[in-house]
């Protein structure tokens, strides 16, 4: 009796079976924000204007055969850059969303490719950061891509007595991950 698999186990050319088959390309901010809305597990909403008004920003997509996107990433100058030393040399991964059909290890593979590409695209950037929402993720992709956990906060609102912000999508504890470019 032949055993049937629910998942593709051989390369028929239609879908990627390995993250190594994905290529990284720059994509426009509108496409990145739209796909983030469809794929992000916790923070689906980000308006494109919150990206392009930064000194630095860049969006990437992971494609298979120059066709369908399987992951997107939105990078910009740090949101809390006013609290950071050398913020002008830091780039923050604001959103990283992966299609549920993406092959295993897509996250860590694309993180590694983006690190190399950012070094070429934005040579003034020396450090990459990202914030992991501890209610939704355990940081596996960052660990696999050799990032370092450097700080943790207990979660808080961006609203304060001086400025009322939009409703937060998450106020859970966050871990800040970093890697040198």
Please provide the average confidence, as pLDDT, over all residues in the chain: 86
Render pLDDT for 15-39 as a digit per residue (tens, 0 to 9). 899 999 999 999 999 999 999 999 9
Which of 95, 117, 35 lies closest to 68, judged by CA? Answer: 35
* Residue 157 pLDDT exceeds 60: no
Tokens describing residue 9: 């186990």
- Domain segments of the chain as ranges: 20-154+171-180
CATH architecture of 20-154+171-180: 3-Layer(aba) Sandwich (3.40)
pLDDT at 8 over 80: no
Of 10-14, 132-136, 154-158, where does the model show the most confidence? 132-136
Which residue in 94, 176, 79 sits closest to 134, CA to CA?
A: 176
**Contact yes or no for 122/75 (Cβ under 8 A):** no
33-75 per-position pLDDT tens digit? 999 999 987 778 889 999 999 999 999 999 999 889 999 999 9
Listed residue (135, 29, 37, 24) closest to 69, CA to CA: 24
The pTM score is 0.82
pLDDT confidence band for 82 (50 / 70 / 90)? confident
């Amino acid at each position: 009796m032949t055993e049937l698999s629910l998942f593709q186990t051989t390369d028929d050319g239609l879908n990627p079976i390995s993250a190594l088959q994905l290529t990284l390309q720059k994509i426009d901010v509108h496409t990145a924000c739209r796909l983030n809305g469809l794929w992000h597990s916790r923070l689906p909403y980000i308006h494109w204007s919150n990206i392009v008004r930064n000194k630095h920003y860049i969006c990437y997509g992971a494609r298979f055969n120059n066709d369908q996107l399987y992951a997107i990433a939105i990078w910009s100058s740090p949101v809390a850059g006013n609290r950071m030393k050398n913020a002008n040399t830091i780039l923050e991964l604001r959103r990283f969303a992966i299609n549920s059909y993406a092959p295993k290890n897509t996250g860590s593979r694309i993180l590694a490719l983006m690190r190399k590409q950012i070094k070429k695209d934005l040579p003034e950037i020396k450090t990459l950061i990202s914030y992991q929402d501890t209610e939704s993720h355990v940081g596996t992709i960052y660990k696999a891509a050799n990032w370092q956990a450097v700080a943790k906060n207990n979660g808080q609102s961006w609203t304060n007595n001086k400025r009322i912000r939009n409703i937060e999508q998450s106020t859970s504890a966050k871990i800040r991950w970093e890697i040198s470019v």
